[in-house]
Amino acid sequence: QVQLVESGGGSVQAGGSLRLSCAASVYPYSHNCMAWFRQAPGKEREGVAGIDTGRGSTYYADSVKGRFTISQDNAKNTVYMEMNSLKPEDAAMYYCAVGRLYCGSWLLNLRPVDFGYWGPGTQVTVSS
């Protein structure tokens, strides 16, 4: 079974940085879609960044392009997300997820319904 554990969340001031980690117990496919989502109170869950673990292709929501970077270490079955220039609107619970199917171009849409495995989340707070 696929188990995911996030870490690295915390509280920072606006303009600060955090690095989130997501460790997977196993990858179900050779090309896995892995992604970070976030959800703030009263808002829908939204996709933030995604990576194809086989191809290395990455995708970002427009709101974080140029500030966030997703990367991987396949030897550790781990995905990271470096978050820079954090803004108060970035505050949310951040979740790591693995796609239901062999990874493809559908990853770029970063839709929660396409992901079947989820971690418990890690909290990010940004103060102004």
Q: Give the DSSP per-residue string, the chain.
A: ---EEEE--EEEETT--EEEEEEES--SSSS-EEEEEEE-TTS--EEEEEEETTT--EEE-TTTTTTEEEEEEGGGTEEEEEE-S--GGG-EEEEEEEESSS--GGGGG--GGGEEEE---EEEEEE-
Question: Given this model, what pLDDT does residue 30 score?
Answer: 84
Cα 11–chain centre separation: 17
Question: Given this model, what pLDDT does residue 114 score?
Answer: 98
Closest CA to 68 of 47, 53, 43, 52: 47
**pLDDT tens-place values along the chain, 128 residues long:** 899 999 999 999 999 999 999 999 998 888 899 999 999 999 999 999 999 999 999 999 999 999 999 999 988 999 999 999 999 999 999 999 999 999 999 999 999 999 999 999 999 999 99
Q: Which amino acid is at 66?
A: G
Question: Given this model, what pLDDT does residue 8 score?
Answer: 98
Cα 102–chain centre separation: 18
CA torsion 78→106→95→54, rounded to 10°?
0
Question: Given this model, what pLDDT does residue 74 score?
Answer: 86
Cβ-based neighbours of 12, under 8 Å, separated by 6 or more: 18, 86, 124, 125, 126, 127
Question: Given this model, what pLDDT does residue 102 score?
Answer: 95
